[in-house]
Structure 1
Amino acid sequence: MVNLGLSRVDDAVAAKHPGLEEYAACQSNAFMKGVLTFLAGTAGTFGLQTLIQRKFPYPMQWSILVAMVAGSVASYKVTRVESQKCSNLWLFLETGQLPKDMGTGQPR
Structure 2
Amino acid sequence: MVNLGLSKVDDAVATKHPGLQQYAACQSHAFMKGTGSFVLGTGVLFSLQNLLQKKLPYRLQWNLLLSIVTGSVCSYLVTRSETLKCSDLWMYLETGNYPDRTPHTEEPAEPTDPSGPRTTQYGDVME
* TM-score interval (norm. to shorter): over 0.9
Between the aligned partners of 2:68 and 2:19, the Cα distance in structure 1 is 36
Q: Whole-Å Cα distance in 2 between the matches of residues 56 and 84 of structure 1? A: 38
Shift of 1:104: 5.1
**RMSD (Å) for aligned C-alpha atoms:** 1.2
Matched-pair contact (CA < 8 Å) for 1:34–1:79: yes
Tell me the distance in 1 between the aligned counterparts of 2:76 and 2:26: 16
Amino acid at match of 1:8: K
Q: Corresponding residue for 1:49?
A: 49
Which of the pair has more CA radius of gyration? Answer: 2
Match of 2:32 in 1: 32
Q: What is the CA distance between 1:64 and its match in structure 2?
A: 0.4
Q: Which runs of 5+ in 2 are unaligned?
A: 106-127
- Give the number of aligned pairs: 105
SS in 2 for 1:53: coil
Query: RCO higher in 1 or 2 (8 Å CA, sep ≥ 6)?
Result: 1
2:6 paired residue number: 6
Consecutive aligned runs of 4 or more in structure 1 exceeding 3 Å deviation: none
Q: How much identity, in percent, do the aligned residues show?
A: 60
Relative to its length, the structure with more helix (as a share) is 1
